[in-house]
Amino acid sequence: MNKILTKNKHWVIVAIASLMYMGSLGLVSNTIGVYYTPVSEDLGILTGTFSMNATLTMLFSAFGSLLAPRLLERVGWKRTIGFGAVLSALGMMGMGFTHSVAIFNILGAIRGLGLAFSAMVPVAALISNWFERMNGVALSIATASSGIISVVLSPILQRLIETIGWEKTFVVNGLLILVFFIPAIFVPYEFKPESEGLLPYGAMKTKKKADSKVVLQGPVRTKDYMGITFIALLLVTFLQTFAVGLAQHLPAYSMSIGSTPEVASFTLSAVMIGNVSTKLVIGYLSDRMGVVKSMLIFGMINIISLVLLVNWAGDTGLIGASLVYGSAYFGGVAHVLMTKEMYGTRIGSYVNAPIVFVASSAGAIGNVVIGYFYDFTGSYVPMFFVIMVLQVIAMAALLVAQKYAPKKD
């Protein structure tokens, strides 16, 4: 077993990273939508009021992402991700022991810090350390895994809510988070391959690896990236990630137009299938035709999916349109590739930090804004048209960013 682990260690790392994404984003963020209607109806509160805890999860994950690198340096890899996993699990299980909106929100914030410390920043750093070549493919596989587990577990969680209640389902959900982090904690491996006497994947074919490291670690000042391109990229990231907030509301949208809870849960599963497919395809397309063209294509697909959601109200149509709406998740991989294409590896690595912060914040804001919009208007449909407009603006901003992009290092 040890010989197999050593020989295929780089892909073992990808498998571990994938399980981490399943237990974090998959079980913390991607499936929270199945609880919106059952909990809000049971407690007699607005959907937007309950979904606020999910908003706080994303906001605190944004702030936590800024702290995660320092935590990794001070306490080490496994202690950091272990701490994050426990926070995520406790934040989820605690939801089943309270009916207080204030406590829901506190637990949402705790889950957000757990996400930041257990997956969002750590996984990207881990894969970056272990892969010099095929870094994008490895990252795509890991991020896509969060959608895979959501596809599998969303209908199961929906069924559990109907049979044992949402309180006990939250507890089961939290325990599953810990289960998925067992390999990350107990399988023997190091944060950096050099600590095991190994090289990053593809490094043996890179003669100037040492020189590349020096460049990557060189000082980057704000003026090196501040400008029209940077502002435009932040706008693109915010608008496109705002659209992701609608995905968690698709089960509620389905029930609002007469679908059964079972069909509603399958819309979220369909979105996650689209999520997985999109993340796997966007990397390949970006290599073939460039990230900008790829993002424009997926932006148009997302607009088409919204048109389908409005006009295709049958059960099969809803599930099919939700599948296409999974294209909204392309930014999870594309925004990282976008900074590298606009700025190059060295400066792009610094630009990624504010991009991740804006993306997490936008997802949080979109989630709650869409929830309250439905509460006060009684319909999700007008918001579909708003998101179509936001996608058009984002595509225009992307072209502006490309036009004014500085020379890559």
Alpha-carbon distance 161 to 3, whole Å? 44
Residue 95: predicted pLDDT: 95
The residue from 192, 225, 242 where one domain ends is: 192
Question: What is the spatial distance between Cα 104 and Cα 39, in angstroms, rounded to a whole number?
Answer: 11
Strand partners, 201: 131
Q: Kindly give the confidence (pLDDT) of every residue in the chain, 409 residues in length, as a single tens digit, with 9 standing for 90 and above.
A: 555 556 678 889 999 999 999 998 889 887 888 898 899 989 998 877 888 898 788 788 878 877 877 788 788 889 999 999 999 999 999 999 999 999 999 999 999 999 989 887 788 778 777 877 777 678 788 887 887 887 788 889 989 999 999 999 999 999 999 999 999 999 888 888 888 888 887 775 444 444 444 333 445 566 666 788 888 989 988 988 888 777 777 777 777 777 777 777 778 778 777 877 777 777 777 777 777 888 888 888 888 888 887 787 677 777 887 888 877 777 666 777 777 777 765 566 567 667 877 887 787 788 778 877 877 888 788 888 888 899 899 999 989 988 877 765 5
Residue 108 maps to a domain:
yes
Tell whether 255 is covered by a domain. yes
Domain assignment of residue 203, yes or no: no
218 located within any domain: yes
Residue range of the domain that includes 230: 211-409
Asked if residue 237 and residue 178 are part of one domain, the reply reads no
- 162 and 279 co-located in one domain: no
- Residue 197 placed within a domain: no
pLDDT at 208: 44
Does 187 share its domain with 51? yes
Residues 403 and 262 in one domain: yes
Please check whether residue 204 lies inside any domain of the structure: no
Please check whether residues 289 and 391 belong to one and the same domain.
yes
Task: Specify the number of domains making up the chain.
Answer: 2
Q: Closest Cα to residue 68, out of 81, 57, 54, 56? A: 81
Q: Does a structural domain hold residue 57?
A: yes
Q: For residues 273 and 403, state if they share a domain.
A: yes
- Is the pTM value of this prediction over 0.75? no
Which pLDDT belongs to residue 166?
Answer: 93
In a shared domain, residues 249 and 360: yes
**330 and 382 co-located in one domain:** yes
* Contact status, residue 265 vs residue 34, Cβ threshold 8 Å: yes
Q: Using CB atoms within 10 A of its CB, is residue 184 exposed (0-12), middle (13-18) or buried (19+)?
A: buried
- Is residue 199, in this structure, part of any structural domain at all? no
CATH number of the domain bearing residue 323: 1.20.1250.20
pLDDT of residue 209: 44
Whether 220 and 168 map to the same domain: the answer is no
- Cα–Cα distances in angstroms (integers) from residue 2 to residues 16, 67, 193, 201, in the given order: 16, 34, 16, 19
Give the count of beta carbons closer than 10 Å to the beta carbon of residue 159. 15
Per-residue pLDDT, 221: 62
